Amino acid sequence: MSALPHKVGAEAIAEKGWLVAHKWLILRRASQIGILLLFMVGPWFGWWIVKGNLNYSYTLGVLPLTDPYLLAQMLAAGQTPEQLAWVGVAIVVIFYLLVGGRSYCSWVCPVNLVTDLANWLRTRLGLKGGAHLARRTRYWILGMTLVVAAITGTIAWEMLNPVSMLHRGLFFGIGFAWAVILAVFLFDLFVMRQGWCGHLCPVGAFYGLIGKASLLRIKLPQRAACNDCMDCFAVCPEQQVIRPALKGINGAAPIILEAQCTNCGRCIDVCSKDVFRFGIRFGAPVPGVSGTVSPVPK
């Protein structure tokens, strides 16, 4: 069973109350489900607020949004988009430069709901261990998909991509895409913790690269208050990003600058000592001094 000495997040709930200790998680689920609903009300009720899917969408006839990774594959395959798609990709890149590249993963992507469920179940069932893969595997896969697009002259990864397959499937008919999604679920449940989103997915890897320069970050203005309860580590989908900023390893500033952080905010929720906050990357606070950074509302 669980090697942790206590239930993850129990301290935070006792300290801050259940609602505050789940604030970002609730907001995140609201965002994920809300975005799905926005796409859903069109086919369901004929209210066409958004058309298209996560690859490219057009909102209220004014706002084009294009997936930059898809556009990169398209360019690699030797084709160019029309003007609206260029505008769409510019908006998306600027947006994620502001809010953090992998915010896409934790706040938008529908597969995150699936893999979070797998991870929750994995914890509940006390499943430990499994296969090992380097976290950087996703960058290799990302590179591979671009090379394959260039060689075959097709957007080859779209044949398999669970992200677009699930999102498209929900609004255009899912077909056997459910089997692909089930495979991802089972992989994350039995084979590897955070296997898909944290190790393999090239979509997340691409957004992570955008996020390297992004403005919104998790800051640790009160890292001196850390009582080593390890709750943040237990809930973090990219555990490797926490330790350097939290412990000041090699003089690291109290801010998580790693591209892989998904800005999910779960660490903020579960910390009873309020070590973590959302903040902007500039003007790193002095360690141990509180109130130097105010949280940026989502």
Task: Give the footprint of other proteins on this chain (CB under 8 A).
Answer: 42, 48, 51-53, 55-58, 64, 66-67, 70-71, 74, 77-82, 84-85, 88, 134, 136-137, 140-141, 143-145, 147-149, 151-160, 164-165, 168-169, 171-177, 179-180
In angstroms, give the least distance from the CB of 54 to other proteins: 9
Residue type, position 11, single letter? E
In angstroms, give the least distance from the CB of 264 to other proteins: 27
- Is 68 or 101 the residue whose CB approaches other proteins more closely? 68
Cα angle value 267/260/78 (rounded, 5°): 145
Q: What are phi and psi of 152, to 5 degrees?
A: -85, -15
Q: Which two tokens stand for residue 183?
A: 């495979």
The Cα–Cα gap between 194 and 241 comes to 14
- Is 7 or 136 the residue whose CB approaches other proteins more closely? 136
- Is 85 or 218 the residue whose CB approaches other proteins more closely? 85
- Is 13 or 49 the residue whose CB approaches other proteins more closely? 49
- B/e letters for 7-37, b = 16+ CB within 10 Å, e = fewer, are ebbebbbeebeeeebbebbebbeeebeebbe
Residues 6+ apart with CB under 8 A from 274: 222, 225, 268, 290
In angstroms, give the least distance from the CB of 55 to other proteins: 5
In angstroms, give the least distance from the CB of 258 to other proteins: 18
In angstroms, give the least distance from the CB of 177 to other proteins: 5
- Is 104 or 157 the residue whose CB approaches other proteins more closely? 157
In angstroms, give the least distance from the CB of 56 to other proteins: 4
- Is 4 or 151 the residue whose CB approaches other proteins more closely? 151
**Long-range interactions of 25-31: CB distance < 8 A, separation 24+:** 25/264, 25/265, 25/266, 25/269, 27/265, 27/298, 28/106, 28/107, 28/264, 28/265, 29/113, 31/107, 31/108, 31/298
DSSP element (H, E) containing 237: none
In angstroms, give the least distance from the CB of 12 to other proteins: 33
Report the 10 Å Cβ neighbour count for 223.
Answer: 21
